């Protein structure tokens, strides 16, 4: 009897497993076979549920600029970095670029490469791919063991001649450039009926020097003794959990592209579906997330005051006429300082202002859509400077309280780096809501 039951179970299992394959669908449209997918919250991010909110001014427009008109808009769900991108996180990008260039252009040793199946010329134009697992186990900058042979090969990566100080081997950061390509889908949509256009017409290719401009700590201020910040802020481990600054909008976007590809490589190795690409948030996403689900409030913590009931300042900014240390820090503070807002996001106001994906236009609120609004423009190098403005949100450690308001918008030029502007990333949630069953 047990054998009969076992036979029935095996046969039933065979019928069920055949469903959707070949003739096992009984002639019904059951959909194509697909890998299972489970929604995951990316590391270091929080889920921001979709919703509608009143975007724009909630308090007096003290500048009388009238560039943040109130408008009801809707935003779909997404994930956002819980904190501003830290020096440590950005340095991971810099080191990846540094090592890629060193291995490809200077060491060029087959031990550091993966040969694709079928030979190096199989469907990849003869390109080789770096074996990062081998690199982790055999650091190329180490002076021990087999890596000692790399020392001479890497001399071209260091400053040369009169650029050397005390004859130290210091990497020439001007060599650290990242090449990437992106689709400009808006341009493709606007010209999708134009038969003269090719796919290549809608691909943006950019080469970006990735090392932060540390001299901003001096160039941003007249006659300020900020040399210690120039020398240590990005390089010293004491500042590893502080927000990265001195990064242009183009560098921030390059980081988001690299972060996407870095995660895609991990997923490909394990045959898992990709996430949506990482990017900078639109200014609507930034304001929506900063409000934390609250309605009509001035600041991420609610407001309308920048102090709590005990008289403690709630963000890192410029209190009064210049008492910078009154909030706990003369410059920036670690990225997890102060209390997070109701979505669990830190420093959505203060510490460093943040780049957004959106291009700046004074009247954008009047012509953008009310569903997922943003104004994007891919500025060319030949365009006038006014077309290279990108929206900056959140206010910084050197700003007065007005710039910390949820609705305050300002701008900076995309190739400009500042000691008070950083960034964080977002990635779209693929679906209606994270609570939905798959």
- Same domain, yes or no, for 263 and 409? yes
Instruction: Give 237's DSSP letter.
Output: G
- 101 within a domain of the structure (yes/no): yes
- 386 within a domain of the structure (yes/no): yes
- 197 within a domain of the structure (yes/no): no
- 307 within a domain of the structure (yes/no): yes
- Same domain, yes or no, for 138 and 265? no
Count of the separate structural domains present in the chain = 2
- Same domain, yes or no, for 152 and 270? no
Q: What is the pLDDT of residue 147?
A: 65
- Same domain, yes or no, for 157 and 238? no
Measured between alpha carbons, how far is residue 384 from residues 107, 381, 389, 410 in Å?
Answer: 42, 8, 10, 18
- 17 within a domain of the structure (yes/no): no
- What residues in the chain have per-residue pLDDT under 70? 1-23, 64, 116-126, 143-148, 438
- Of residues 157, 165, 260, the one with CA closest to residue 211: 157
**Per residue in 296-307, pLDDT tens?**
899 999 978 999
Q: What domain range includes position 153?
A: 92-117+126-171
- Same domain, yes or no, for 382 and 256? yes
Expressed in angstroms, the distance from the first to the final Cα of the chain is: 39
Instruction: Report the C-alpha gap between 15 and 36 in whole angstroms.
Output: 20
Spatial contact of 73 and 55, defined as CB atoms under 8 Å apart: yes
- Same domain, yes or no, for 71 and 218? yes
CATH number at residue 61: 3.90.1580.10
- 141 within a domain of the structure (yes/no): yes
- Same domain, yes or no, for 135 and 252? no
Q: Which two tokens stand for residue 18?
A: 């055949």
Q: Parallel, antiparallel, or unpaired for β 203-209 and 278-279?
A: unpaired
- Same domain, yes or no, for 108 and 52? no
Q: b/e for 315-351, b at 16 or more Cβ within 10 A?
A: bbbbbeeeebeebebebbbbbebbebbebebbbbbbb
* DSSP H helical ranges for 341-401: 364-367
Q: How many helices (H) and strands (E) does the chain have?
A: 10, 14
- Same domain, yes or no, for 163 and 263? no
Instruction: Report DSSP letters for 135-170, one per residue.
Output: HHHS-TT--SGGGGGHHHHGGGGB--GGG-STT---
Q: What is the pLDDT of residue 153?
A: 87
Please, is 26 exposed, middle or buried when counting C-beta atoms within 10 Å of its C-beta (0-12, 13-18, 19+)? exposed
Cβ-Cβ contacts under 8 Å for 136 (sequence gap 6 or more): none
Q: What is the pLDDT of residue 292?
A: 96
Q: Report the phi/psi class of residue 296: left, alpha or beta, with left for phi > 0 and alpha for psi in -120 to 50.
A: left
Spatial contact of 356 and 393, defined as CB atoms under 8 Å apart: yes
Cβ atoms < 10 Å from Cβ of 207: 10
- Same domain, yes or no, for 140 and 269? no
Torsion (CA) 318, 319, 324, 328 in degrees, nearest 10: -110
Instruction: Report DSSP letters for 70-138, one per residue.
Output: -EEEEE--EEEESSPPBHHHHHHHHHHHHHHHIIIIII--GGGEEPPTT-TTSSSTT--EE-HHHHHHS
**Per residue in 31-80, pLDDT tens?**
888 877 778 899 999 999 999 999 988 877 777 677 788 899 999 999 99
- Same domain, yes or no, for 316 and 299? yes
Helix (H, G, I), strand (E, B) or coil at 196: coil
pTM given for the model:
0.91
- Of residues 138, 72, 85, 63, the one with CA closest to residue 107: 138
- Of residues 423, 426, 359, 352, the one with CA closest to residue 391: 359
- Same domain, yes or no, for 77 and 224? yes
- 36 within a domain of the structure (yes/no): no
Q: What is the pLDDT of residue 108?
A: 82
Q: What is the pLDDT of residue 117?
A: 60
Spatial contact of 275 and 42, defined as CB atoms under 8 Å apart: yes
Instruction: Report the C-alpha gap between 317 and 337 in whole angstroms.
Output: 13
Q: What is the pLDDT of residue 3?
A: 53
- 25 within a domain of the structure (yes/no): no
């Amino acid at each position: 009897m047990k054998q009969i039951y076992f036979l029935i179970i095996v046969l039933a299992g065979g019928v069920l497993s055949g469903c959707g394959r070949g003739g096992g669908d009984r002639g019904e449209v059951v959909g194509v076979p697909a890998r299972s997918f489970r929604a995951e919250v990316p590391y270091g991010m929080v889920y921001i549920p979709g919703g509608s909110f009143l975007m724009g001014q909630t308090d007096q427009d003290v500048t009388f600029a009238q560039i943040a008109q109130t408008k009801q808009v809707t935003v779909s769900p997404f994930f956002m970095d819980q904190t501003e991108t830290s020096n440590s996180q950005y340095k991971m990008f810099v080191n990846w670029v540094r090592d890629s260039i060193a291995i490809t252009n200077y060491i060029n040793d087959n031990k550091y490469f993966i040969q694709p199946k079928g030979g190096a010329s199989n469907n990849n134009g003869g390109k080789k791919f770096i074996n990062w697992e081998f690199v982790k186990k055999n650091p190329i900058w180490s002076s021990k063991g087999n890596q000692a042979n790399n020392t001479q090969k890497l001399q071209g990566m260091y400053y040369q001649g009169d650029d050397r100080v005390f004859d130290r081997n210091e990497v020439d950061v001007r060599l650290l450039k990242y090449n990437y390509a992106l689709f400009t889908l808006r341009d493709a949509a606007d010209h999708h009926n134009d038969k003269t256009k090719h796919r290549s017409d809608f691909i943006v290719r950019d080469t970006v020097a990735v090392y932060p401009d540390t001299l901003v700590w001096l160039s941003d201020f007249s006659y300020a003794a900020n040399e210690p910040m120039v020398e240590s802020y990005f390089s010293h481990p004491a500042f590893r959990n502080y927000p990265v600054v001195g990064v242009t909008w183009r560098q921030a976007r390059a980081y988001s592209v690299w972060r996407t590809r870095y995660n895609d490589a991990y997923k490909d190795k394990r045959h898992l579906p990709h996430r949506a690409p990482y990017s900078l948030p639109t200014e609507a996403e930034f304001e929506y997330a900063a409000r934390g689900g609250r309605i009509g409030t001035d600041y991420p913590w609610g407001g309308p005051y920048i102090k709590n009931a005990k008289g403690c300042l709630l963000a890192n900014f410029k209190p009064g006429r210049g008492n910078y240390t009154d909030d706990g820090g003369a410059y920036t503070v670690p990225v997890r300082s102060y209390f997070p807002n109701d979505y669990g996001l830190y420093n959505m106001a203060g510490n460093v202002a943040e780049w957004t994906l959106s291009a700046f236009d004074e009247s954008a609120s009047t012509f953008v859509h009310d569903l997922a609004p943003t104004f994007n423009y891919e500025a060319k190098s030949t365009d006038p400077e006014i077309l290279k403005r990108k929206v900056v949100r959140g206010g910084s450690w050197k700003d007065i309280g007005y710039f910390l308001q949820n609705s305050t918008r300002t701008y900076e030029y995309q190739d400009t780096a500042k000691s008070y502007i950083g960034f964080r990333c977002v990635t779209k949630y693929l679906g209606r809501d994270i609570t939905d069953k798959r």
